Structure 1
Amino acid sequence: MRVFLATLASCVLAATAFGAQARPLSQNDRSVCGWGAQIASEAQHAKLSGVTLYAARKKLQVRRFAKPWMRMTAFGITEQTYNSSSRLPPKAIKQTYYEQCVQHAVARR
């Protein structure tokens, strides 16, 4: 029992030290996650509305993006959304995407 408590105490200390080192997410990371979540939400809405992947990609092709990497990323997010069997509403997709993106960004640090 004493060994267990000592191990538990050292794990708690290590977790506390690790948590103290973690920096908060940057505004840029939050912005990118929000943008990606919006793209996923729009793709899910189009998918559930019966819009083909081809038509969704055509719509993205003419859309203006602020950064060069955004176009291909939007295509990837849209394709993954269409390939998914999920029938969740777009709002749920947006929330899930954002949460997982933030979790990924924090784990990267």
Structure 2
Amino acid sequence: MRTTVITVATLSLALFALSAQGRELSKSHRFACTWGSDIAAGAQQSKLSGISLYGARKRLQVRKFQQPWMRMTAMGITEQTYNSTSRLKPAAVKQTYYEQCVRHELAQR
């Protein structure tokens, strides 16, 4: 029970800090971070479901993307996700990716 309280408090602080940082990002940077986190979560779901990297890449090949850079970026995110030994749930991967993307974008300034 105590661990749950600590975890919830830590998560709340992290989300508060993230929301404060998120306001500083441009709309396009927020979109890119959200989009990338969705790709990472989907790749993790595929990996945990037993779909091969080849199968996941094949799915991305037939998918329609809004921008030309998205297909190759999605391939890279998927490959990195498959190369990771992480067994985290897709929602945790999505959150982690988003948080690190925001930190990266803010550090670029």
1:4-62 CA distances to partner (integer Å, 9 max, x unpaired)? xxxxxxxxxxxxxxxxxxx9110110000000000000000000000000000000000
Q: Which residue pairs with 1:46 in the alignment?
A: 46
Distance in 2 of aligned mates of 1:33 and 1:73: 12
1:35-94 CA distances to partner (integer Å, 9 max, x unpaired)? 000000000000000000000000000000000000000000000000000000000000
Amino acid at match of 2:52: T
Distance in 1 of aligned mates of 2:43 and 2:97: 12
Distance in 2 of aligned mates of 1:66 and 1:27: 16
Q: Which residue pairs with 1:74 in the alignment?
A: 74
Structure showing greater Rg: 1
Question: 1:86-101 counterparts in 2 under 5 A?
Answer: 86-101=86-101
Distance in 2 of aligned mates of 1:28 and 1:57: 25
Amino acid at match of 2:103: Q
Partner SS for 1:86:
coil
Partner SS for 1:56:
helix
Q: Which residue pairs with 1:107 in the alignment?
A: 107
Please provide the CA RMSD for this pair: 1.0
Runs of 4+ with >3 A deviation: none
Distance in 2 of aligned mates of 1:74 and 1:66: 12
Q: Which residue pairs with 1:35 in the alignment?
A: 35
Amino acid at match of 1:36: G
Q: Which residue pairs with 1:56 in the alignment?
A: 56
Number of equivalences = 87
Amino acid at match of 1:30: R
Distance in 1 of aligned mates of 2:50 and 2:59: 14
